[in-house]
Amino acid sequence: MDALGLPYRAVSPDVDEGVPPGTPAREAVLLLAERKARAVAARYPEALVLGADQLVEVGGEVLGKPADREQARRQLMRVLGRVHDIVTGVALVGPGVHTTHVESTLLRFYPLQAEELERYLDLEEWRGCAGSYRIEGAGMGLIAGMEGDLTNVRGLPMLAVVRMLRQAGVTFFPSRR
């Protein structure tokens, strides 16, 4: 968001991030993105609020944020050497505005030997990350191929966000004179 030069403030939505068991990833991220955006919009009713949530899906299994190193190891072992899907839900809510979008990006990771996997886990990039990796860091070294928007993998699909903001009437490149 900083690169756009638009004023914004990050606000924790303080919402329950639970979804019913078995909820498909696309539905779950949309539900959570809307829940987050609405919670913040209730506190700031005049603001344009962007909410987002991201999950990783591999072979029909949804991977959220790991609780510990062992769960991170299991998650990474599920995605290494395979194609998996990064699914992000985005909701834009404000006065006269309510729009949503789900972005999907396919990633293929290199297979790793056990020793290399442990070295990656030692970096602790898995903390707080769905799927147990952080593409903005050393996790970039896991990617063998990608189909889709890299910004989605990083957490927020900026192509979709810019489109949503423009449709909501946000002015880009304000005059600085």
pLDDT at 173: 86
Q: Domain for residue 62, yes or no?
A: yes
Q: Domain for residue 139, yes or no?
A: yes
Q: How confident is the model at residue 175 (pLDDT cuts 50, 70, 90)?
A: confident
Helical residues (DSSP H) of 44-176, grouped into ranges: 69-79, 114-122, 150-153, 158-167
Burial of 88 (0-12, 13-18, 19+ CB in 10 A): buried
pLDDT at 34: 97
Q: Is the pLDDT of residue 145 over 80?
A: yes
Q: Domain for residue 4, yes or no?
A: no
| C-beta of residue 100 within 8 angstroms of C-beta of residue 108 | no
Could you tell me the two tokens for 97? 């505005």
Which of the 8 DSSP states describes residue 59? T
Q: Domain for residue 172, yes or no?
A: no
Q: Is the pLDDT of residue 176 over 80?
A: no
Higher confidence at residue 94 or residue 18?
94
Is 53 part of the annotated catalytic residue set?
yes
Q: Domain for residue 102, yes or no?
A: yes
Q: What is the pLDDT of residues 150-172, one digit of tens each?
A: 999 988 999 999 999 999 999 99
Catalytic site residue from 53, 68, 122, 149: 53
Q: Domain for residue 110, yes or no?
A: yes
Strands 143-147, 49-58: pairing kind:
unpaired
Give the least confident one: 59-63, 82-86, 143-147.
Answer: 59-63
- pTM for this model (two decimals): 0.88
Higher confidence at residue 92 or residue 174?
92
Q: What is the pLDDT of residues 99-137, one digit of tens each?
A: 999 999 999 999 999 999 999 999 999 998 889 999 889
Q: Domain for residue 9, yes or no?
A: no
Provide the domain count of the chain. Answer: 1
State the average pLDDT for the chain. 93
pLDDT at 5: 86
Q: Which residue segment(s) compose the domain that 21 sits in? A: 17-167
Which residue, among 49, 59, 67, 55, has the nearest Cα to 28 in the 3D structure?
55
pLDDT at 22: 86
In this structure, what CATH number is given to the domain that contains residue 78? 3.90.950.10
How many angstroms separate the CA atoms of 61 and 45, rounded?
37
pLDDT at 36: 97
pLDDT at 38: 97
Q: Domain for residue 174, yes or no?
A: no
